[in-house]
Amino acid sequence: MHHSTILFDLDGTLTDPREGITRSIQHALAKLGIDEPDLTKLEPFIGPPLLQAFMEFYDFDEARAWEAVGHYRERFKTVGLYENLLFDGVLEMLEHLRGQGRTLYVATSKPSVFAREIARHFAFDHHFKVIYGSELDGTRTNKIELIAHLIAEERLDSEHTLMIGDRKHDLIGAHRNGLQAVGVGYGFGSHAELMAESPAYYYATLPALRAAFS
């Protein structure tokens, strides 16, 4: 993989946010009178834009979905974003890539204010030139729009830019912007989900991804 610029998804690619996201979703549902004791049933919320996920998975209209997002953020911004783990080997991989002279960015549907705090708290922010996320009003939660914005702002050459992510949204966003994409199997997207989007590369584990850059 010769690319000089690499865009990384955040949740499920750099970090495992399972506990913080699912518990914050559980909190939001409880505020709306819905009891969901099984956190595993809430894992599909990890990756896609949150507003659309509430509408899809719970059949909320847009107004109720925004209400749910508000309740989610009440907990997430103070507790949930710290209930997170860096995948083993991520820091070493980022250091290796920077040592090769590559330029790194984060491209996440998560609001920028949360993504930047997570990167600061877990001490990997210095590896990235800029951390790009969505706005709190929902602007650029769509990965196609987010990646297009990043490319335009940074004046990137699509031929030399690679997107790495664990969900179909990452691959679709890359392809619609003329980028090659890597699907990783250690996050929250199934093998079938990722293969359906024809990534240029697929790595089942983080060590395999790291080795591909050697």
By annotation, the residues acting in catalysis are 9
One-letter amino acid at 21 equals I
Report H helices in the chain.
18-31, 50-58, 62-76, 90-99, 112-121, 143-154, 168-176, 191-195, 206-212
DSSP 42-94: GGGGSSS-HHHHHHHHH---HHHHHHHHHHHHHHHTTTGGGS-EEPTTHHHHH
Q: Which residue has the tokens 């679709």?
A: 172
d(CA 193, CA 65): 25
Please give the single-letter amino acid code of residue 28.
A
Which of 47, 167, 160 has its CA nearest to residue 105?
A: 160
What six digits make up the tokens of 189?
């997207």
